[in-house]
Amino acid sequence: MGHLQVFIVSFLSISCVSIFMPNLVAAQLKTNFYAQTCPNVESIVRNVVNQKFKQTFVTIPAVLRLFFHDCFVEGCDASVLIASTSGNTAEKDHPDNLSLAGDGFDTVIKAKAAVDAIPSCKNKVSCADILALATRDVIQLSGGPGYAVELGRLDGLTSKSSNVGGNLPKPTFNLDQLNTMFASHGLNQAEMIALSAAHTLGFSHCDQFSNRIFNFSPKNPVDPSLNKTYAAQLQQMCPKNVDPRIAINMDPITPRAFDNVYFQNLQKGMGLFTSDQVLFTDQRSKGTVDLWASNSKVFQTAFVNAMTKLGRVGVKTGKNGNIRIDCGAFN
């Protein structure tokens, strides 16, 4: 997922529904939402995801990360897909979103075109729901759990770069900062830890963790919580003044598999970001890491529950949204 990169201004608009009235959001969403209008929507989206995956593995982490970055700003409403115009700099052009891989956007656009090619489905399925379905599909394609996706989101009517800053977790976050940010979306510590495991897939760029391997502190140039062998490998792959486009696997052991090796890596001091490793070094979260490192099934159940809850964040209904004809532009 790379890293999810809300607070005071958008807290109420995004989160009050999901925190204070979670049952209302859950009631708006249902797994068979398109049963009458577009009954084959899931297989249509899955076929496109499969085709895209055959072209490039990057499809998997790209879609997964896109979903996180969408839901954490303005809620799960496909606002991250909107292209900037002369009058508006959209979310996707905020510095925290510039590293989102184009393959994620391309997957949703192609899936939307395939859905709209079916006459009965045309303009009936939201881009937000297509992204949610594609996210489940890429998780499953990489060996993760399958699950029923709740549907019925509308696409948002706002996408502003100015809404992104401070609303995505940073690689440098400690446990309190992670918990505060996830809690602003109604997600608890265990759900935050489960969702962090999306870092079992995908890659990051050297500048996101270079402080941990070269200038962590005056006393310790290398972060002492880093496995020494792993730190040396990272220094080799990411020397000082390296090309910032160089990408490093988030999970050095099984980078293409959705699995609980992420947690086993944390036990060995091989979390790439401070915000990964802190889940093991902080005693408040260490027990959860230990449990999921040893029990894949329990972890996968927790992950599915957390993803379902994430998918309810800031859902748009009624006059607050619509179904976009083009995922990259407002109607």
Q: Which residues are annotated as a binding site for substrate?
A: 169
3-state SS, residue 184: coil
Task: Give the closest residue to 258 by CA, choosing from 60, 5, 55, 58.
Answer: 60
Binding residues: 70, 73, 75, 77, 79, 91, 169, 199-200, 251, 254, 259
- Please return the burial class of 295, using the count of CB atoms within 10 Å of its CB with bins 0-12, 13-18 and 19+: middle
Q: Which DSSP category does 85 fall into?
A: B
Considering 3, 69, 185, 205, which one is annotated as catalytic?
A: 69
Binding residues for heme b: 199
In the chain, alpha helices (H): 8-20, 22-28, 41-55, 59-71, 102-116, 127-141, 175-183, 189-196, 210-213, 228-237, 261-267, 274-281, 283-294, 296-310
69 classed as catalytic: yes
Q: State the DSSP string of 24-84.
A: HHHHH-BTTTTTTT-TTHHHHHHHHHHHHHHH-TTHHHHHHHHHHHHHTTTSSSSGGGPPP
CA distances from 331 to 154, 198, 232, 326, 327 (A): 13, 32, 51, 7, 9
CA separation for the pair 163, 173 (Å, rounded): 19
CA separation for the pair 251, 167 (Å, rounded): 24
CA separation for the pair 84, 64 (Å, rounded): 22
Reading phi first (left if > 0) and then psi (alpha if -120 to 50, else beta), residue 78 is in: left
Catalytic residues: 69
